[in-house]
């Protein structure tokens, strides 16, 4: 059983899956199982998205 089949058998289908199988990554790039180079989506943690700037001292 490959990884995709294991995932289908074990996980609840809450969200639709992206048709992407990442096989390696380097810096901000990932490669899929077809050899296509794709920029990795960058996500910041929710706690950092709307944090106000700290007040300046002095």
Residue 21 lies in a domain: yes
State residue 22 phi and psi, 5-degree precision.
-80, 130
pLDDT for 7 equals 82
Residue 27 lies in a domain: yes
Per-residue pLDDT averaged across 10-21, rounded? 78
Write down the mean pLDDT value for the chain: 77
In angstroms, the CA 54 to CA 58 distance is: 12
Residue 48 lies in a domain: no
Residue 17 lies in a domain: yes
Residue 11 lies in a domain: yes
pLDDT for 35 equals 92
Residue 49 lies in a domain: no
Residue 52 lies in a domain: no
Number of compact structural domains in the chain: 1
- Indicate whether 56 pLDDT > 70: no
Which residues form the domain of 31? 3-41
Per-residue pLDDT averaged across 28-56, rounded? 73
């Amino acid at each position: 059983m490959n990884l995709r089949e294991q995932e289908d058998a074990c996980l609840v289908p809450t969200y639709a899956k992206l048709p992407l199988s990442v096989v390696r990554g380097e810096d901000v790039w990932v490669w899929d199982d077809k050899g296509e180079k794709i920029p990795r989506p960058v996500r910041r943690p929710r706690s950092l998205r709307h944090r106000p700037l700290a007040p300046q001292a002095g």
